[in-house]
C-alpha cells in the first residue's frame, strides 16, 4: 500500500488525552492511523470504521497481522449509522480522521476513490456532530485538512460548543505558504496552541529535520519519498 504524508503526519502528531482508553478511527481506509496509535499508545483500544467493503476487509487483515490484534477492531459501515446503534452513554477519548478534501459531488471513475477524496459519504459537519455526540469530557477529535478550510472548520466547531485547542500549520517547503493543517478539537475550553512544521528542504528533495524527528518511529531509514510503501494489505494499490 502507498501511505501518504498526511496519514504519517497525523498519526505521529496526535496525542490522546492522559489515561485515554477508547479511540475511534473514522474512515479507517486500510487502518494506518489505527496501527500507528496502537504502536504509540499501548493502553488504547481502537475501533476503525470504514464504509468501503473492500478497504474494510484490508483493514481487518492488517489488524489481524499486526502485533496488536486484541486492541484493534474493524467495523464496516457508515459511521453515522453505527453511531445510532451505540448505547446512549458510549463515549470515546480520541477520534481521529483524515477526512475528504473536496466538497464536490461529481461522480468519479472509481467510486471508492470518490468516497475517500470527496465529501460524499461524510462531511466536516458530520465529523463535528459526531465529536459533539461521542467525545468524553476530556476527549478530542484530531484531523488533517487543507489550510484554506480553517475558517469553515472554526465556524463549525464554535457553533457546536467545541473549541480548537491545538493547530499545526503544514508548509510543503520553506518560503512556500501553508497548504494543510492539523487541528485538535476538544470540549474543554482554553487557548489554542499553534505549531508549524515544514515537510521538505529548500530543494524539495529531502525531508526536513523537524519532519524526520516527528515521524522517526514510522519512516524507513533513508526514506525521502513523499509517499512510501508500507507492508499493509490493499487491493487498490
Which domain covers residue 116, as residue numbers? 2-229
Helix 124-134, helix 150-160: angle, nearest 10? 30
Please tell me the total count of domains within the chain. 1
Residues in the chain: 237
More confident position, 205 or 47: 47
Residue 177 CB contacts under 8 Å (≥ 6 apart), including other chains: 147, 171
Q: Does residue 166 belong to any structural domain of this protein?
A: yes
Lowest mean pLDDT among 16-20, 90-94, 125-129, 222-226: 222-226
> Mean pLDDT over residues 104-120, rounded?
45
What is the reported pLDDT for 99? 85
| 235 domain-assigned | no
Looking at 135-205, list the stretches that DSSP marks H as alpha helix, in order from N- to C-terminal side.
Answer: 150-160
CATH number, domain at 64? 3.40.50.150
- What average pLDDT does this structure show over 211-228? 71
In a domain, 234, yes or no: no
- What HEC string does 91-123 produce? CEEEEEECCCCECCCCCCCCHHHHHHHECCCCC
Q: In this structure, is residue 161 part of a structural domain?
A: yes
The answer to whether residue 222 sits within a structural domain is: yes
Q: Which residues contact 73 (CB under 8 A, 6 or more apart)?
A: 45, 46, 47, 48, 63
Residues 6+ apart with CB under 8 A from 125: 156
> Does 236 fall in a domain?
no
Mean residue pLDDT across the chain = 87
- Between 160 and 80, where is the model more confident? 160
Per-residue pLDDT of 28-57, as tens digits, reads 998 999 999 999 999 999 999 999 999 999
Residue 237 resides in a domain: no
Residue 212 lies in a domain: yes
- For residue 237, the model assigns a pLDDT of 41
- List Cβ neighbours of 113 (8 Å cut-off, separation of 6 or more): 236
Pairing of strands 180-186, 135-146: antiparallel
Label residue 121 by pLDDT band (50, 70, 90).
low
| Least confident range of 13-22, 110-119, 134-143, 149-158 | 110-119
What average pLDDT score do residues 128-152 get? 96
> Predicted confidence band at 116 (pLDDT cuts at 50, 70, 90)?
very low
103 near 149, Cβ under 8 Å?
Answer: no
C-alpha cell, 10:
497525523
Say if residues 215 and 34 touch (Cβ distance below 8 Å): no
Amino acid at each position: 500500500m502507498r501511505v501518504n504524508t498526511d496519514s504519517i503526519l497525523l498519526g505521529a502528531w496526535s496525542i490522546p488525552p492522559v489515561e485515554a482508553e477508547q479511540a475511534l478511527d473514522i474512515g479507517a481506509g486500510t487502518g494506518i492511523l489505527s496501527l500507528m496509535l496502537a504502536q504509540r499508545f499501548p493502553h488504547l483500544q481502537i475501533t476503525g470504521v470504514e464504509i468501503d467493503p473492500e478497504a474494510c476487509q484490508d483493514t481487518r487483515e492488517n489488524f489481524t497481522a499486526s502485533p496488536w490484534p486484541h486492541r484493534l477492531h474493524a467495523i464496516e459501515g457508515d459511521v453515522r449509522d453505527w453511531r445510532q446503534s451505540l448505547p446512549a452513554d458510549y463515549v470515546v477519548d480520541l477520534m481521529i480522521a483524515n477526512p475528504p478534501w473536496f466538497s464536490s459531488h461529481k461522480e468519479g471513475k472509481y467510486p471508492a476513490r470518490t468516497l475517500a477524496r470527496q465529501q460524499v459519504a461524510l462531511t466536516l459537519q458530520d465529523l463535528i456532530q459526531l465529536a459533539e455526540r461521542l467525545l468524553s469530557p476530556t476527549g478530542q477529535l484530531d484531523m488533517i485538512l487543507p489550510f484554506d478550510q480553517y475558517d469553515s472548520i472554526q465556524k463549525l466547531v464554535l457553533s457546536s460548543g467545541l473549541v480548537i485547542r491545538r493547530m499545526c500549520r503544514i508548509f510543503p517547503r520553506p518560503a512556500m505558504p501553508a497548504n494543510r493543517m492539523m487541528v485538535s478539537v476538544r470540549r474543554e475550553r482554553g487557548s489554542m496552541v499553534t505549531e508549524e512544521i515544514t515537510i521538505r528542504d529548500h530543494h524539495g528533495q529531502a525531508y526536513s529535520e523537524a519532519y524526520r524527528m516527528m515521524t522517526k518511529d514510522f519512516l524507513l531509514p533513508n526514506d525521502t519519498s513523499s509517499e512510501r510503501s508500507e507492508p499493509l494489505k490493499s487491493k487498490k494499490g
